[in-house]
């Protein structure tokens, strides 16, 4: 084979090696993400004292929230921003038939909760908007969730809106102007950042957050 052909092939191989790492990007490659769980210990996560809660354990890359009488969960006791952030995690329902991820998060000086699989297993929504919980406001959706399947959850909070994504598909886009945010009374112990379940055993992994510069860009109106 001519030497020139080999040289061209070698050059192409070198170029591919040089450029491939910067052109292929996955969710985990963004250095802005900051882990909130080391996969081994609870760290700054503490069992939430709801009363009648199930046992919380950590290990093998997973946080396990055991089924309680009603609510069980964990609350973050470390530093966390109030605005302009994304928080993401994977969650799955192991046992039970109600919400396996009630993710409470700050929105400026207020708080709100994203509920996945509530009210008997299928309700998705924010609690609460103008005093109406996840089953009774404009964010309410009915979805199907399989036990033992991991779901990717991501929430983006800016001064203008709350955006929620499930398996990278946007399920909620709530504008914050002219509304009042709150959490249900029984979930207040989850503030400022917490994950709760209801009569359900759940597992959580990959909890992390990153700062964001502001609202998601919107195309100009026609």
Overall average pLDDT of the 63-85 stretch: 97
Cis status, amide bond into 192, omega within 30 of 0: yes
**Per CATH, which fold does 27-211 belong to?**
Jelly Rolls (2.60.120)
Q: How many CA atoms lie within 13 A of 146 on its CB side?
A: 4
Overall average pLDDT of the 20-46 stretch: 74
Q: Is a pLDDT exceeding 60 seen at residue 1?
A: no
DSSP 53: P
Q: Which helix (H) or strand (E) holds 23?
A: helix 3-23
The confidence band for 30, taking pLDDT boundaries of 50, 70 and 90, is confident
The confidence band for 29, taking pLDDT boundaries of 50, 70 and 90, is low
Which segments within the chain are labelled E, that is strand? 34-35, 45-47, 56-59, 62-65, 71-76, 85-96, 101-107, 110-118, 123-127, 141-142, 151-157, 161-166, 169-175, 194-198, 200-211
Q: What percent of the chain has pLDDT over 70?
A: 83
Nearest to 176 by CA among 115, 113, 108, 116: 108
DSSP 28: G
Give the domain ranges of the chain. 27-211
Sign of CA dihedral 210, 195, 112, 189: negative
Q: What phi, psi does 82 have (nearest 5°)?
A: -95, -20
Q: Is a pLDDT exceeding 70 seen at residue 157?
A: yes
Residue, of 2 and 172, whose pLDDT is higher: 172
Nearest to 65 by CA among 35, 89, 33: 89
Dump pLDDT digits (tens) for 94-110.
999 999 999 999 999 99
Dump pLDDT digits (tens) for 171-203.
999 999 999 999 999 999 999 999 999 999 999
Structure tokens belonging to residue 202: 């759940």
What is the pLDDT, as a whole number, of residue 216? 52
The confidence band for 24, taking pLDDT boundaries of 50, 70 and 90, is very low
Structure tokens belonging to residue 109: 């000086």
Q: How many CB atoms lie within 10 A of CB 199?
A: 16
Residue, of 220 and 20, whose pLDDT is higher: 220
User: Distance between CA 99 and CA 120 in Å, rounded?
Assistant: 8
What is the pLDDT, as a whole number, of residue 31? 83
Inter-residue contact 124 to 140 (CB < 8 Å): yes
């Amino acid at each position: 084979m001519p030497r020139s052909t080999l040289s061209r092939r070698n050059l192409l191989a070198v170029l591919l090696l040089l450029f491939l790492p910067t052109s292929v990007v996955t969710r985990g490659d963004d250095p802005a993400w900051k882990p909130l769980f080391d996969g081994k210990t609870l760290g700054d996560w503490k069992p939430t004292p709801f009363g009648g809660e199930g046992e919380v354990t950590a290990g093998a890359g997973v946080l396990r929230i055991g089924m309680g009488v009603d609510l069980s969960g964990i609350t973050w006791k470390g530093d966390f921003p109030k605005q302009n952030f994304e928080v993401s995690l994977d969650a799955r329902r192991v046992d039970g038939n109600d919400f396996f991820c009630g993710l409470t998060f700050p929105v400026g000086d207020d708080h709100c909760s994203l509920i996945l699989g509530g009210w008997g297993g299928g309700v998705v929504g924010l609690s609460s908007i103008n005093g109406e919980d996840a089953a009774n406001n404009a964010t309410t959706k009915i979805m199907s969730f399989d036990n033992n399947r991991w779901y990717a959850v991501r929430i983006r909070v800016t001064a203008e809106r709350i955006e929620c994504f499930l398996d990278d598909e946007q399920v909620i886009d709530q504008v914050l102007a002219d509304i009042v945010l709150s959490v249900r009374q029984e979930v207040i112990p989850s503030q400022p950042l917490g994950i709760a379940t209801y009569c359900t055993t759940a597992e959580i992994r990959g909890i992390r957050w990153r700062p964001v510069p502001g609202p998601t860009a919107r195309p100009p109106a026609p």
